[in-house]
């Protein structure tokens, strides 16, 4: 019997050590190094021996490489296509992470059922009957989706050779194990080895692979950090299980922008695409309420109208509180300092609470003017009219600075029925004959005068 070989791996970053030690010298984390059984043997191809072929790549001059755009596989989900950059790239490997119960499996099963091409959905967490019950609610008449319950990668590749799918979905990467590693499923070495085999399969066969990944209590994808470096695209599925809306973001994308955003609504029949996000980001209330302002922002190429709520009250405990939801608290402190120094508003002894509705996080500086308008509205207890919106950045000198792609923001505000939009007078506006009134301002005092007289 061969001697069992073991090694030590950091569970946080995946670094290998010859012996145990308390602190990982790579990521500086404590008590993350564990012993795992390893088996050193020659790695075989994902193909069976009769299918494998020896081929070597040769270097090409850069002007000899075919630079034409590769055809993408378009799923039936417009939000998913937008986040990926236009569709699924053949041979790509995508990793989808998110909280437990947020809807990762539902999203990918829904996409697999709607795709017009042959799809192999591999689940290591649910039985075929469980997946069938969920599929009956989502899309019961799919003929292109194959369901496989398997956790061994060699068996998955054998079935993939027989079916020859156009897309392979793995739910989830932490449940898989390979014969070439003796440690248990979900360990650092197993996750790294299984992902490496799937990447090799995707690149050699041209079949796109989509992986579901568990996340840790810190919000990071479970497994070695190298996992995110190995794949082509990393997607994050966000949201609160107590709310119906979900947000899909790209944290890494080799084939498109990482600034795009997809919004879904969780229903009993699956996830509904929200084509007009402003419907969930702007509250519907009959009365005019102070402390609210509408901002025109951009997420990637998509314009959004978001509602900003502010509450200014006298500090009870002596030290004023500064609390934000969906907004950078340091930027709020900066804007409050500008209001105090440049505009003369005494807010240093008052509590200020700020909330961006809809559960999204925005870092676009173009919402600065709307933040200030909401704060002043709450401080003066004077509501801002519902048909007014804002799109401008605030400088430290109290000036209203121009923002990028202001024409797109103006057109979105006009489409949603707003009557007036406040923008910087230094913006170059090329919209011809806008139906919305443009208020061109250069200082905070101009905005205060226009809104509150």
Question: CA-CA distance, 181 to 39, in Å (whole number)?
Answer: 6
Whether 91 has a binding-site annotation, put simply, is no
CB 252, CB 226: distance < 8 Å? no
Whether 100 has a binding-site annotation, put simply, is yes
Question: CA-CA distance, 375 to 337, in Å (whole number)?
Answer: 12
* Residue 425 CB contacts under 8 Å (≥ 6 apart), including other chains: 400, 440, 441, 442
Parallel, antiparallel or unpaired: strands 393-394 and 16-17: unpaired
Question: CA-CA distance, 165 to 311, in Å (whole number)?
Answer: 55
Whether 98 has a binding-site annotation, put simply, is yes
Whether 262 has a binding-site annotation, put simply, is no
Cα distances (Å, whole numbers) of residue 1 to 4, 38, 353 = 9, 15, 67
Percent helix, strand and coil across the chain, each rounded to 5?
30, 30, 45
Report the sign of the C-alpha dihedral through residues 324, 329, 333, 339, in that order. Answer: negative
Whether 99 has a binding-site annotation, put simply, is yes
Q: Which two tokens stand for residue 63?
A: 């002007």
Whether 303 has a binding-site annotation, put simply, is no
Whether 386 has a binding-site annotation, put simply, is no
Indicate the Cα dihedral angle 190, 195, 200, 201, nearest 10°.
100
> Residue written as tokens 């879904």?
264
Whether 104 has a binding-site annotation, put simply, is yes
> Residue written as tokens 């990447």?
199
Backbone φ, ψ for residue 331 (5° rounding): -70, -35
Annotated binding site: 98-105
| Binding site members for ATP | 98-105
């Amino acid at each position: 019997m061969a001697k069992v070989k073991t090694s030590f791996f950091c569970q946080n970053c995946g670094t290998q050590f010859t012996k145990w030690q308390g602190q990982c010298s790579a990521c500086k984390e404590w008590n993350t190094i564990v012993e795992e059984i390893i088996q050193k043997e020659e790695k075989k191809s994902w193909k069976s021996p009769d299918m494998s072929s020896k081929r070597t790549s040769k270097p090409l001059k850069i002007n000899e490489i075919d630079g034409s755009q590769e055809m993408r596989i378009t799923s039936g989900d417009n939000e998913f296509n937008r986040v990926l950059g236009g569709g699924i790239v053949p041979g790509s490997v995508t990793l989808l992470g998110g909280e437990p119960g947020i809807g990762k499996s539902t999203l990918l099963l829904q996409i697999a059922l709607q795709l017009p091409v042959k799809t192999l959905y591999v689940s290591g967490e649910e039985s075929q009957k469980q997946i069938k019950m969920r599929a009956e609610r989502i899309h019961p008449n799919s003929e292109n989706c194959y369901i496989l319950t398997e956790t061994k990668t060699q068996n998955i590749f054998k079935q993939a050779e027989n079916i020859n799918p156009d897309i392979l979905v793995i739910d989830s990467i932490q449940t898989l194990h390979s014969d070439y590693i003796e440690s248990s499923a979900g360990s650092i070495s197993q996750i790294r080895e299984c992902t490496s085999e799937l990447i090799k399969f995707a690149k050699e066969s041209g079949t796109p692979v989509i992986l579901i990944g568990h996340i840790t209590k810190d919000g990071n994808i479970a497994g070695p950090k190298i996992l995110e470096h190995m794949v082509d695209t990393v997607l994050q599925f966000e949201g609160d299980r107590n709310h119906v809306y979900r947000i899909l973001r790209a944290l890494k994308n080799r084939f498109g922008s990482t600034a795009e955003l997809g919004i879904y609504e969780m229903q009993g029949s699956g996830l509904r695409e929200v084509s007009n996000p402003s419907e969930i980001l702007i509250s519907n209330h009959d009365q005019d309420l102070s402390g609210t302002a509408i901002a025109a922002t951009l997420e990637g190429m998509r314009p959004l109208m978001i509602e900003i709520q502010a509450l200014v009250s006298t500090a009870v405990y002596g030290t004023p509180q500064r609390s934000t939801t969906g907004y950078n608290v340091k930027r709020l402190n900066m804007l409050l300092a500008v209001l105090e120094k440049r505009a003369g508003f005494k807010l240093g002894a008052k509590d200020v609470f700020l909330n961006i509705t809809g559960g999204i996080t925005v870092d676009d500086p173009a919402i600065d003017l709307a933040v200030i308008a909401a704060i002043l509205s709450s401080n003066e207890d004077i509501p801002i009219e519902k048909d007014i919106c804002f799109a401008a950045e605030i400088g430290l000198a109290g000036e209203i600075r121009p923002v990028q792609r202001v024409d797109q923001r103006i057109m979105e505000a006009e489409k949603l029925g707003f009557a007036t939009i406040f923008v910087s007078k230094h913006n170059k506006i090329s919209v011809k004959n806008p139906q919305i009134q443009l208020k061109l301002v250069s200082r905070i005092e101009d905005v205060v005068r226009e809104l509150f007289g």
